[in-house]
Chains A and B, each alone.
Chain A
Amino acid sequence: MTVTSEATAAQGAPNDALRKALTSQIRPSRPNPLTAVRVSAWRTMRKMKHYGVAVLFDVTLMPIVFLLTFTYLFGGAFAGSTKEYLQYFLPGVLVQTVVMPTVYTGTALNMDITRGIYDRFRTLPFWQPATIVGSLLGDIVRYVLALTTTMAVGLALGFRPDGGVGGVLSAMLLLLVFAVSVSWIFAALGVVAKAPETVSGTSMLVMFPLVFTSNIFVKPDTMPGWMEAIVNVNPVSNAATAARGLIHGDASGSDIGWVLLACAIITVIFAPLTMYLYRAKSRS
């Protein structure tokens, strides 16, 4: 026979800890935007820490595979010798290294939205775009790790930066600025996409043309005129040219200027767009 019986046993004494927690009267004033951004960046870095070495693996595997195959397979054909090619190619690989993982920003943002924490954020009183800005900035850790690892592999393979340590560091700094700017594009995509998989799928459609129609792999002067024109206006090419220049100590002001201009244009378009889309999301 079955009888209704509530498991009333667990209905024990009132829980003191619960009472204490519920009578807390702290009502702080809202955090300033800077604090909110810092907290959000902290969150992104904590997540990375929990993922541990997997993060490093994720972001460096692809560039290192490219570095090895292109250098040893095509290097001789492209530039006469493997060694010669590496001198040209490595700064380009660094660009690829930082540009590829910018997609993660979009995926992470989309996960927040689709997995529900976004609902919680929206009811809190802080400056809402802080979660986006914070995660963009937190991702810099990822880029630094990726750049350092790729550079180390390059050096081990015999790459020699003529611009010395200063050249390498300034190139990395420029590439970090570039990566953060590019990540706004994927952040926008992350806000509109229906699912995280859509972000990574769609991103590849943007990423591959961007990376391959550039001067990362080969000098564009052997390409047909129209292709050369495309390659030359691709901001990825500008970034690669500037990085090459800085690393080898022969960068011109205009090389760097073009990159910064591209960064500014991308940011000015995509940062406000992302924030607008984020605020407008799903209140309909």
Chain B
Amino acid sequence: MSSPSTPAVETAGLAKVFGETRAVDGVDLVIPQGVVYGVLGPNGAGKTTTIRMLSTLLTPDGGTARVLGHDVVKEAEAVRSRVSLTGQFASVDEDLTAAENLELLARLLGFSRTQAADRAEELLAAFDLEKAAGRQSKTFSGGMRRRLDIAASLVITPDLLFLDEPTTGLDPRSRNQVWDSVRAMVALGTTILLTTQYLDEADQLADRIAVIDHGKVIAEGTTGELKSSVGTGALHVRLVKAETRPEASRMLTRLLSAPVFQESDPFALSVRTDDSERIAGALGELARAGIAVSDFAFGRPSLDEVFLALTGRPAEDTTADQEEDAA
């Protein structure tokens, strides 16, 4: 059985192979209970495969995994009774209404007819779907569908909830609704393991993060630890005259106490820093020194930049979109 000190997830050398692809290639993780744990990685990193093994949907090819103290292979039933999964792609019945979907799952979990109807109503209210209760879920927007999908995972409040890319493809408003639910759930004692392609999201929600690539964990730590290894922000500056770049570079290095990268564009510079006050000062200094700036931007590093920092090479086939550009 599991006490509060039993890790929510504990894996050793967890592996899954599909033909030639080593989708998960020796993952070691220890996730304590009561936290939001983020698994960050680009497309094809092995996030979904890992989560499917942990939620007993897929049998591992190597290594071991214990979830809340139970082996995912030998004690799959016990694991299933305590965890819930909201998959990357909607897994509700599109032909049924929102209410019917929730009632169906409640009934299959053993709720009586009236209990199931009550529970459906409760969950619809919790996820702001009351007005859409009687609509077929195929008519739902992406955000509504996501919320219904999460609600469907909570018919019985799980001890551990897996959320596979819960906000990919959502607009900022819907994304915030999902984030709020995640915060509320963890506050009420559910441990959450979420995967994401966005550093920003992991940063907002997760207490600890594992970065995975090609099926391997390449970095692990609290958000603070990862931040200091990568830097949370980057200042991008574009100069009016390319010949002022060496001088600008020297000044920014001194003013921001951080290394300055000369970008391939001869007019552009970037500095990894998150100190917005010093940035404002530094930009002022540049102006006073007669170095004209045509454009500048301050944003969080994209997953690409994290990867560059962690692995020294760009992440392949990454579709990390820069949401800060939309602000």
Contact = CB atoms under 8 A, between A and B. Distances in A.
B243 interface: no
Given A10-B176, A24-B119, A123 B85 contact: yes
Interface stretch (A14-22, A75-83, A203-211): A14-22
A24 B157 contact: yes
B184 A18 contact: yes
A77 to B, nearest CB: 44
A15 B325 CA distance: 30
User: B-side binding surface: helix, strand, loop or mixed?
Assistant: mixed
Interface in B273-327: 295-300, 324-325, 327
B261 interface: no
B172 interface: yes
B1 interface: no
Given A15-B180, A19-B188, A28-B115, A43 B110 contact: no
B56 interface: yes
B107 A39 contact: yes
Contacts of A47: 93, 95-96
A117 B93 contact: yes
B242 interface: no
A115 B299 contact: no
Contacts of A118: 91
A124 B83 CA distance: 10
B48 to A, nearest CB: 11
Contacts of B104: 39, 42-43
Nearest to B16: A284
B267 interface: no
Interface string A1-44: 11111110011101101111111111111110001100110110
Contacts of B91: 115-120
Interface string B75-104: 001001101110101111111110010001
Contact of B80 (A7, A21, A27, A123): A123
A46 interface: yes
A14 B58 contact: no
Interface stretch (B7-15, B63-71, B120-128, B210-218): B120-128
Nearest to B172: A7
B140 interface: no
A28 B59 CA distance: 27
A31 B59 contact: no
A225 interface: no
B188 A23 contact: yes
A17 B177 CA distance: 14
Among B95, B127, B325, max chain A CB count under 10 A is at B95
Contacts of A3: 297-299, 324, 327
B136 interface: yes
Given A2-B298, A7-B176, A28 B181 contact: no
B283 to A, nearest CB: 10
B57 A119 contact: yes
A244 B177 CA distance: 62
Contact of B126 (A18, A25, A31, A117): A18
The residue in B56, B126, B181 that gathers the most chain A C-beta atoms within 10 A of its C-beta is B126
A125 interface: yes
B50 to A, nearest CB: 15
Q: Which of B94, B97, B108, B122 has the most CB of A within 10 A?
A: B108
A22 B157 contact: yes
A158 to B, nearest CB: 39
A122 interface: yes
A5 B327 contact: yes
Contacts of A124: 80, 105, 108-109
A125 B109 CA distance: 6
B188 A22 contact: yes
Contacts of A40: 108
A241 B184 CA distance: 65
B237 to A, nearest CB: 11
B271 interface: no
19 contacts: A3-B298, A3-B327, A4-B324, A4-B327, A11-B176, A15-B180, A20-B122, A23-B188, A24-B119, A25-B157, A42-B104, A46-B96, A47-B95, A51-B95, A112-B93, A119-B57, A120-B105, A123-B55, A125-B77
The 5 nearest A-B residue pairs measured at CB:
A28-B110, A116-B91, A21-B126, A10-B176, A17-B125
